Structure 1
């Protein structure tokens, strides 16, 4: 089962090279150092899973799954798999994934760097076609952060998918804003016939976004959908007690940005819903992650 193997991603503590078999691997050489690119092209539901989407809709999940927290990992990993198979999103963007293994022969997993945790994309093969992929380095990062980019086709429409885990902690504001600026530049520079979607854990504070500025061609999905209060905070230590923090704070760290294709006669991708996931407390008394996940639906017009 897909979920049984994906559970191993969060549960595995030691990577044993002699137990892993890769069908394909591509190496990207940057600054004379090998970086392994994490993109998994997967079917998130079994063949008999009910079809939940119309042809003119695209679904996306972005979620920092807090894989570096090893407490109650087996139950949390099973919960993550349950969410992914239940929602069966076309695009899944994950952050803080740890040690990995081969999910199944139909899936290719390559890690994004040699650090202890990284980002990952899961693309439903029956809905999207992977054309190209790359990892864009953040040269000044001190936490091994980068931008993961994939070029895909969805119903004949060109999409550029991006995810990242921006620099953490308030003290790293300057570097985080540099990373936001670079990501926005990549979104703005995409060809006019390409729709660009970014989802990830940005660690951004609102004043940092204001300082950098968002291009007029790019929209924040939460703002575009009317700033729904129930989706405002994705990291909330008052509602989520996975992290035992003495003080209570909440932020909209996890964000989704959209730059629509602007060329004539190219279909437009429009957001029509957003919801937080992972809100249910598990039997262990904790949540799937210290972040809530974001589930979005888009229509093609």
Structure 2
């Protein structure tokens, strides 16, 4: 080979190497594009069975009815009356039903002048940073708001003193104290408690429960249901099953106690698209109060920087549902003042507070 040919070959090789390097540099830093896998019908059956903790026979039955659309099939399972018993078995196994109560139905006119305030708050006891100071702030805010009924989530044994001291104002019922974390229902002294139950979700890997207090205020039957549903997006299946079970339980209570008040809420960890069928007569307190966008987001990392690494997230995780002859609802967020001594908020969640009244 001649010298000129050698030179031409070397130039071409260098150009090819430079071109490849430029291409590599252009690609560097780009996120890989995820190629969505096409699921076979068998894959969908397996995923449905895994999410719902049922079997592939039920999966096939529902998927066939909705044209093998997995999302629609899950919505049908979690939202349809036809699968009420199956959902219950998934979450907590067979249960026995209680006898119907003879509570007399009352109207808003009968209850004119009555006000009931219900507050719910995930107090983030799992975050050990400034915990003692934060729990003191939580207790102080509770005293300031002075709710008749208080639902707490993520309560822990450590630095529980300020919460325990609220016994001077409230009767306190813990779900599974001694566990890593748990829930609590606090009711004012005027509330006559008849029964306290805790249902452990068998499909939970996070110690989650449904806590139920049954009692009365001024002779009116009242049911309180407090829960903390499964967290994070990847546990959507368990969370949707738990929420559906809770709504089924509310519907069962109302059917057996037609004149009662019912308040159900907590840290539900729900995304809007995960909200399944809501039984007739059960209302969302935030919606009943007018759906004010200023009070919508209860986990808002734009405004609450307690949790580092979660940026630009706005979620309505904390919700309160209700039933009763009251006809006015006022809704607010609490706990939004930063604690001066540690420059953090009492919790990474805002507390939700709803006042129900008859006018």
TM-score range, shorter chain: 0.7 to 0.9
CA distance in 2, matches of 1:175, 1:114: 24
Out of 134, 137, 141, the residue aligned to residue 204 of structure 2 is: 141
CA 1:151–1:270: 2 relative to 1, 3 Å = farther
Structure 2: any 5+ residue segments left out of the alignment? 1-91, 94-111
CA 1:79–1:157: 2 relative to 1, 3 Å = same
Question: Is 2:255 the counterpart of 1:188?
Answer: no
Structure 1: any 5+ residue segments left out of the alignment? 1-29, 32-53, 261-267
| Per-residue deviation, 1:150 | 0.4
Richer in helix (by share): 2
CA distance in 2, matches of 1:114, 1:80: 20
Question: Is 2:299 the counterpart of 1:241?
Answer: no
CA 1:156–1:213: 2 relative to 1, 3 Å = same
CA contact (8 A) 1:113 1:144 kept: no
Partner in structure 2 of residue 46 of structure 1 = none
Cα-to-partner distance string for 1:256-284 (whole Å, 9 max, x where unaligned): 00123xxxxxxx23342010001101111
| Per-residue deviation, 1:72 | 1.1
SS at match of 1:216: coil
| Per-residue deviation, 1:109 | 5.1
Out of 235, 259, 265, the residue aligned to residue 323 of structure 2 is: 259
Cα-to-partner distance string for 1:97-153 (whole Å, 9 max, x where unaligned): 00056646885554525521000011111x211111101221111111010000111
Partner in structure 2 of residue 198 of structure 1 = 264
Q: TM-score, normalised by structure 2?
A: 0.63
SS at match of 1:71: coil
Partner in structure 2 of residue 45 of structure 1 = none
SS at match of 2:280: coil
Q: Which contiguous aligned blocks of 4+ residues in structure 1 show a shift greater than 3 angstroms?
A: 100-111
Partner in structure 2 of residue 13 of structure 1 = none
CA distance in 1, matches of 2:125, 2:336: 17
Between the two proteins, the alignment pairs up a number of residues equal to 240
Partner in structure 2 of residue 151 of structure 1 = 214
| Per-residue deviation, 1:96 | 0.3
Partner in structure 1 of residue 347 of structure 2 = 289
CA 1:113–1:171: 2 relative to 1, 3 Å = farther
CA distance in 2, matches of 1:221, 1:107: 24
Out of 125, 134, 150, the residue aligned to residue 76 of structure 1 is: 134
Q: TM-score, normalised by structure 1?
A: 0.75
